[in-house]
Chains A and B, each alone.
Chain A
Amino acid sequence: MKRVVDVNIPLGPIHPCFKEPARLKCEAKGERIIGVEVELGYMKKGIERIMKGRPWQEVMFLAERVCGICSVIHNLVFIEAMEQISGIAVPPRAARLRVIANELDRMQSHLLANFSYCYTIEHETLGMYLLDLREQVMDELERLTGARVTCAYIIPGGVRCDLRKEEAAALLASLERMEGDLRRYTGMFENGPMIALRSRGVGILTPDAAERAHAVGPTARASGIAVDCRMNHPTYRQLGFAPVTRPDRDNFARVMVRFDEVFQSIGLIRKCLTDLPNGVVRGRGVCTAGEVRYSGEAPRGELTYFIRSDEFGRIVEIQIQTPSIMNIEACCHEMIIGSDSIADVTATFISADPCIACTER
């Protein structure tokens, strides 16, 4: 059957709503979208090629710079993979501190994603509220690690610095404040009829389609699929982690899953802080030869590192599988098809929280 395409509309690579360059080529029949192709290739830097032959102290920073938004998880997954290879034990206090840093990072990433969504559907007030809240999270991250983005906090055998008693108290206090603020903002999002018009029932991703496209992270969880790599992580298991899901499958659900996960992160950090074990934060250990495939849950979904190293811990072979590529696939081939207008294309695309930098590396 011949497809009837009225117009081809390219969006991007520079588009006011996109944080990063990507080009969406939409085929429209009347107002209805019948096909979308994504064109990438504006960000390819060849990070995996650069990583080869380098020791952890250089690769760790390159790994962080795979994605600047969720840098802590790349740091964490790379270092934990190296620890598995070399059998380095992590002191319990450091394991908890890693969770705190990781969850703070997840909070800021989710808030940024939801800000982008609100901004795309032209709800700037709520967007700005969320961005302001994100600054408070960044302050906490900075107090813990010493930098706002690309924190370089996690090293083999532990973390770079300890959390002092008075800092822990300050962190708890500001978590309290942030939770109150976020509760109000979530209410505004949940109960806004205008937001519902733009979000509910738009960009449906059925569980079948999600599985076909191998969607991961909040995108899959918003379709009712309970996948989350944190379920397999020993520290998270100690904390009694259970993934958040929602059944309603649309843009609204994806944003709400992220809001729910921010609340969950706040809970996890609180739990870590209340029974923070005493002791050192840095164990010793030298990276050695081995091979491992290791996954962690990034804010956008499952992140996998495959690493082979030589006897001195230098990287011989590395492959990174980032979550966004699957989500972009799900977005272009399942969610956007059948949208009622071109305006919904950007909103749906942003709702899946695509990250082009980590897709292309």
Chain B
Amino acid sequence: MASSLFWYVREFFRAEWIRKFLFARTAPLVTPPHFRGFPEPTGRTCQHALFCMMACPAPGAIEVVHAGDGWMPKIHKGHCIRCGLCVEACPNGVLKSGRILETMEREGTSLIFSFRIAIDLELCTGCGNCCTACPVNKEADAQMGAGGHSSNDEVIMRVQDGDIVVIHEDKCTGCKTCEASCPNGAIRIARILEGSQEPVPEGVQ
């Protein structure tokens, strides 16, 4: 008992405690500047790379919509988890959230996307739907017919002798249009995200 009393009496007679007791005021309920809030536009032009949508882990959180004569990402509150991946994935710095953009620029960090095409040849029937659906193919070879045949070497993939062949995997923009068009679920796009940082100059840290 006595020791307990001692601890409490000691606690209540500390100068700091008395000061707090007499002049108690709730701390102002402010949000610190480094808190990652909902992403906001910085005012730079959106290039419609859609990397933000691809990086976003939350279903239905971000959408790139028409704004005036350009594009702009739109955040849906209630879906967005404020993770800030869209800010890091955007190559143009269109979004900002807390200090993320500023740190990225200072430390030279970024998230890099690369896309890989995997085709299950067991499932693929060589119908060519994916080749015609692909927007990059359309750009490269506007003449590509329904069978996915093309004589153009600039296309991402084409059908040769009844089999699908991927020529330029590096041109893939990760849009997954082909996945949706494949009747057998044979083609799958992997969106690979990789962190990177430029070397830190001497004496900065």
Contacts and interface: CB of A to CB of B under 8 A. Distances in A.
Q: When A and B assemble into the complex, do they touch directly, with CB atoms less than 8 Å apart?
A: yes
A319 interface: no
Interface string A231-263: 000000000000000000000000000000000
Interface in B112-127: 114, 116, 118
Contact of B1 (A62, A93, A193): A193
A188 interface: yes
Contact of B192 (A161, A192, A194, A286): A286
A188 B32 contact: no
A335 to B, nearest CB: 26
At the interface, is chain A mostly helix, strand, loop or mixed? loop
Given A55-B192, A58-B57, A282-B197, A146 B4 contact: no
Interface in B169-205: 190-200, 205
A191 B3 contact: yes
B34 A157 contact: no
Contacts of A157: 194-195
A280 interface: yes
A192 B4 contact: yes
Contact of A188 (B7, B35, B83, B114): B7
A314 interface: yes
A157 B6 CA distance: 52
Interface stretch (A24-32, A148-156, A205-213, A219-227): A148-156
Interface residues of A, number: 46
Nearest to B88: A160
Interface stretch (B39-47, B98-106, B156-164): B98-106
B34 A143 contact: yes
Given A147-B82, A152-B83, A278-B205, A57 B57 contact: yes
A87 B163 CA distance: 35
Contacts of B35: 142, 146-148
B107 A161 contact: yes
Interface in A16-60: 55-58, 60
Contacts of A269: none
B197 to A, nearest CB: 4
Contacts of A93: 205
Contact of A165 (B1, B100, B109, B205): B205
B4 A191 contact: yes
A161 B109 contact: yes
Interface in A269-304: 276, 278-287
Contact of B3 (A139, A162, A193): A193
Contacts of B6: 191
B103 A161 contact: yes
B194 A286 contact: yes
B84 interface: yes
Main secondary structure of the interface of B (DSSP, over half): mixed
Contacts of A160: 84, 88, 100, 109
Nearest to A135: B27
A284 B194 contact: yes
Contact of B195 (A146, A152, A193, A284): A284
Nearest to A56: B193
A280 B4 contact: no
A150 B36 CA distance: 11
B85 interface: yes
Contact of B8 (A62, A152, A188): A188
Interface in B47-65: 55, 57-58
Nearest to B190: A312
A184 interface: yes
A41 B36 CA distance: 33
B193 A194 contact: no
Contacts of A276: 205
B107 A285 contact: no
A284 B190 CA distance: 18
B194 A285 contact: yes
Contacts of B11: 184, 188
A162 B100 contact: no
7 contacts: A142-B35, A156-B195, A160-B88, A191-B7, A192-B4, A282-B195, A313-B190
Interface of A: 55-58, 60-62, 93, 139, 142-143, 146-148, 150, 152, 155-158, 160-162, 165, 184, 187-188, 191-194, 276, 278-287, 311-314
Interface of B: 1, 3-4, 6-8, 11, 32, 34-36, 55, 57-58, 81-85, 88, 98-100, 103, 107, 109, 114, 116, 118, 190-200, 205
Given A61-B57, A156-B195, 12 more contacts: A55-B193, A61-B81, A61-B83, A142-B34, A143-B32, A147-B36, A158-B195, A161-B100, A191-B7, A281-B107, A281-B197, A282-B195
